[in-house]
Amino acid sequence: MRLRTVLFMGALLAPLVALLVRLHVLFRERAVDFSFHEREKQCVLHAHKNMQSSEDVVLWKNGIALTGSGDILKYLRAEEASPDGGVFAAYMGDVLRSGKGPESMVLEQVELEGYPSDIPLRIHGLHLSNATNRLYAVNHPGGFSRVEVFEISERPDGGPALRWLFAFAPTDGSFPVGGLNAVVEGTSPKEIYVTVFKPRGLKPPGLDEFFDSVEELGHILFASESESQVLRCVVDDDESEPQGTKGKGMCGKAASGFVLVNGMTADPGRNLFFVNEMIKKEVRVFSRSPEDGSLRYIKALTLPSVPDNIHFDSESGDLYVQTFPSFFRAALAMQKPVKEAVRVPGASLIFKNKGGAADGASMEYGERTIDHFLHDGSVLNFPTGFTRFGPLTLIGSVGATKGVMLCRDI
């Protein structure tokens, strides 16, 4: 009888113990020493009056980085969004060539030729294709989500010029409202991949929103597979169609098995895709099938902290992964009553390419990361993405701090 009681109590307590273990994994924080930042780097925050956020950053040419803006924190809280965002250029290369400090960097808003004035611009993920000279931006205008496609060219003064081509929103309704995160161009402009991190999308406060939140929390707490996935979309961008009416097409599942997917990138040849799994703290490596474009799992690169955005350095073949130590702290920072008081530190990590060409599938990545840059969020709160140019690092934020931070190696 006593043994039966013990077994019964054990069966009852096992799920609770498992939950406590998961809570410990989710909420524990890796110690980040801000003195390392002060001692080893020169960092300056650059702001612009029209910049609400800098959630993702990409490197273009001549050391010019681009970042997209929009009040992402309000979007994540399903609140009414603030005024439009935009695209901003950070002139990192000029800083390096002038020999001046990070404080000398110019940050300017880029004119978006042809972009419809009646569609709000609240940019989440960015992708820059050097093969087609296109900039892709995940946009959450409110009530729907879509991918904006711009043509990028060089102005006479060397700066970027952006011309809006079209917006992609599939006719099958597979883009959940506010549920997209990252975007990557496939092997041609007629193919794009997007990550869906919020499969049920954003809903106004109510029972539907409550039950969706409970379901999402359950997946997160128990690290169980959800509907979070990578979609492959076939884009109809027929040049004969009038501008603004292109961008129709269909999407299908390219990869699944995630708890909560986030950033995504690919090598220039589109042989390998790298997708961030936030809850399990790993970068999942996939090969792209040349037959149907689906993504086949190869392996996972383990991380010490929660990944957000990820980018591929086409010259070195290195992977840049921006992380933050605690999912719990990040979740707190998105809550309106406490967001100003919560500091989210960051760790900018680099996976070194251990062999093979930068544009081939023969690349190998070690399991260890380089802690390229650590800080406690005092200068830039809640870092979400970064890029490099020489000894300079540009880091963006989801919007807890308005602006971008430029740091110089010493």
Cα dihedral 205, 207, 208, 211 sign: positive
Scanning the structure block, which residue is given the tokens 């999308």? Answer: 201
* Residue-averaged pLDDT of the chain: 81
Inform me whether the pLDDT recorded for 77 exceeds 70: no
Helix or strand (DSSP H, E) at 209: helix 207-222
Residue of 166, 125, 135 whose CA lies nearest to 64? 135
Give me the CATH code for the 31-409 domain, please.
2.120.10.30
CA distance 114 to 162: 9
Tally of CB atoms within 10 A around 222: 14
Residue 372's pLDDT band, with cuts at 50, 70 and 90, is confident
Secondary structure class of 26 (helix, strand, coil): helix
Residue 352's pLDDT band, with cuts at 50, 70 and 90, is confident
State the pLDDT at residue 209: 61
State the pLDDT at residue 116: 93
Tally of CB atoms within 10 A around 297: 13
Question: What one-letter code names the amino acid at 283?
Answer: V
Q: Find the range with the poorest average confidence among 183-187, 224-228, 317-321, 354-358.
A: 354-358
pLDDT above 90 covers a percentage of the chain that reads 49
Mean pLDDT, to the nearest integer, of 247-262?
90
pTM: 0.86
State the pLDDT at residue 171: 78
Q: Rounded to whole angstroms, what are the CA distances from 33 to 38, 188, 307?
A: 9, 43, 19
Classify each residue of 19-38 as buried b or exposed e, where b means 16 or more C-beta atoms within 10 Å of its C-beta.
eeeeeeebeeeeebeeeebe
CA distance 149 to 400: 27
Inform me whether the pLDDT recorded for 340 exceeds 70: no
State the pLDDT at residue 245: 44
Helix or strand (DSSP H, E) at 41: strand 41-46
Q: Find the range with the poorest average confidence among 11-15, 202-206, 395-399.
A: 11-15
Strands 160-168 and 112-113: parallel
Inform me whether the pLDDT recorded for 201 exceeds 90: no
Phi, psi at residue 102, to the nearest 5°?
-60, -25
Helices 2-27 and 207-222 meet at what angle, rounded to 10? 100
User: What would the two tokens of residue 99 be?
Assistant: 């020999």
CA distance 160 to 112: 10
Residue of 342, 341, 350 whose CA lies nearest to 323? 350
Mean pLDDT, to the nearest integer, of 25-34?
51
